[in-house]
Amino acid sequence: MFLRLIADNFTRRPRRKFLTAAALSLGMAVATAALSVSLDVGDRLSEEFKSLGANLVVTPEADSLPLEIGGVDFRPANSGAYLPESDLRKIKSVFWHNNITAFAPILEVQVKTAILPKPVSSAFVPSNPATLIGTWLEHPVYTDDLSRFVTGIGGTNPWWKVEGRWFSETAKDPECVIGANFAKKTGRGVDDAVEVQDGERGRVLTVTGILSTGGPEDDAIIVPLKIAQELADKPGQYRKLYVSALTKPEDDFARRDPKTMKPDELERWSCSPYVSSIAYSIKQVLPGSDVRVIRRVADGEGKILTRVRTLLWLVTFASLLAAALAVGASSASSVIERRTEIGLMKALGAGSGTVGWLLAAEQLLLAFVGGCTGYALGLLLARFLGTKIFGVPPEPSLLVLGVILVLAATITLLGSALPLRRAARFDPAPILRGE
């Protein structure tokens, strides 16, 4: 009988029920879209920020003089400090190894250059000195479990653009890429030859591309790391390592010094993908290294993500408040219209609790319908927003559906609380007398 009364009352006054459900659906649609985008925005922003390149830099611990300006570290390098290339595979053994998307070692060598004519002459006529930068391009790294991870400068510095093609690390004849400014000053281009020399050691390099970075690399020569190690007589060593990692924005807890944390705090900090905790774990596996955060990238990601999520939560709160007010107004009007019906139910023996449960059950059924409709509309809105902002729509989530149904029920009960409380306290005698 109870369910029959609920179903009968739910189909009565369809216009009022439709308006209430419409208001609730619109509120839940906005909440669904905001929650879907909010859950997805962290991953999307991380993908977008990958275009900014590395967010960690590793140098020898001997480079201890701090000098940071505008989030960029300008510490001078100790010319005698190097790190072993053989330890780099250990980076993929840290707890957050899946979050480390790329890393690339760097070794800079000051060389003298000679522009060789075609055909190549054996005579070395030195021109202006230049910086030769050795690095990885698409270099395979084999981890402790023998899995293969390919990494290089393309993952850590994705904004580097090459006209022509990158050098090949496995080419029979050594190849290089020259910076745009270096090419302009020397008149060299693709397929030309450049000879580089450091003391008694020299190599003839074939130019495969012109590099544009907007930085000091535009005046340099970029070669495979092995060639730079041979010229510098530093086999198996490097000077600097750039690391690109997917992280979550740092809060006050993330910025604490791990040395001052209790064991449970250190465990919670280490198990969160903060950029500082990933830096800490890398330092543990690279002896003699100093791992620093490139704050310009890390802080930018955190600030943008915090602002986007704050905006989404404000929009969600406003939509839920509007839905609660609409449901409350509709519920109050419905209770006034049904005074006679409620009075008759009480005169026939129904208690205040029974009347309250009956009316609340009707509102919950309305919340279920409005919540499901709002979820469907919200998915469409989320797809539109995700496509326009990030180019990729967020994936539907059963978690969001559950949250929306709970929110719809909560908003409906809160909005109807005062009218339902008033209905449960009606005195049937005055109502039936028409007073």
Full-model pTM:
0.62
Task: Give the range among 16-25, 186-195, 279-288 with minimum mean pLDDT.
Answer: 16-25
Task: Report the SS3 class of residue 251.
Answer: coil
Alpha-helix runs per DSSP H in 91-193: 153-156, 180-186
Per residue in 326-374, pLDDT (tens digit) is 777 777 776 666 666 666 666 656 655 566 666 777 777 778 888 888 8
Nearest to 272 by CA among 297, 293, 247, 290: 247
CB atoms within 10 A of CB 305: 19
Computed from CA positions of residues 360, 363, 369, 373, in that sequence, does the dihedral angle turn out positive or negative?
negative
Say if residues 47 and 354 touch (Cβ distance below 8 Å).
no
pLDDT for 248:
73
Task: Give the range among 67-81, 93-107, 159-173 with minimum mean pLDDT.
Answer: 67-81
Give the span between the Cα atoms of 95 and 302, in whole angstroms: 22
Please list the residues that pair with 45 across neighbouring strands: none
Domain ranges for the chain = 2-47+304-432, 55-293
- Residue 424 CA, chain-centre distance (Å), reads 50
Give helix 14-49 / helix 295-337 axis angle, nearest 10°: 180
pLDDT for 75:
53
Task: Give the range among 169-183, 278-292, 370-384, 387-401 with minimum mean pLDDT.
Answer: 387-401
Q: How confident is the model at residue 276 (pLDDT cuts 50, 70, 90)?
A: confident
Per residue in 135-151, pLDDT (tens digit) is 999 999 988 777 899 99
Which positions ≥6 away from 62 have C-beta within 8 Å? 78, 80, 81, 288
Say if residues 239 and 62 touch (Cβ distance below 8 Å).
no
pLDDT at 58 exceeding the cut of 70: yes
Highest mean pLDDT among 13-17, 68-72, 95-99, 344-348: 95-99
- Tokens 């919340």 belong to which residue? 367
Nearest to 91 by CA among 299, 293, 228, 291: 291
pLDDT at 119 exceeding the cut of 70: no
Task: Give the range among 103-107, 117-121, 311-315, 422-426 with minimum mean pLDDT.
Answer: 117-121
How confident is the model over 307-326, as a mean pLDDT?
A: 80
Give the span between the Cα atoms of 269 and 257, in whole angstroms: 10
pLDDT for 122:
47
Which positions ≥6 away from 391 have C-beta within 8 Å? none
Mean per-residue pLDDT of the chain: 78
CB atoms within 10 A of CB 171: 11
- The first and second tokens of residue 330, run together, are 């509709």
Task: Give the range among 3-17, 110-124, 233-247, 299-313 with minimum mean pLDDT.
Answer: 3-17
Give the span between the Cα atoms of 69 and 313, in whole angstroms: 34
pLDDT for 222:
95
Residue 207 sits at φ, ψ, to 5 deg, of: -80, 125
pLDDT for 209:
95
Residue 97 sits at φ, ψ, to 5 deg, of: -65, -30
- The first and second tokens of residue 373, run together, are 């409709």
Alpha-helix runs per DSSP H in 271-397: 275-285, 295-337, 339-347, 352-390
Q: How confident is the model at residue 187 (pLDDT cuts 50, 70, 90)?
A: confident
Residue 292 sits at φ, ψ, to 5 deg, of: -120, 150
pLDDT at 254 exceeding the cut of 70: yes
Q: How confident is the model at residue 121 (pLDDT cuts 50, 70, 90)?
A: very low
Task: Give the range among 113-122, 174-183, 300-309 with minimum mean pLDDT.
Answer: 113-122
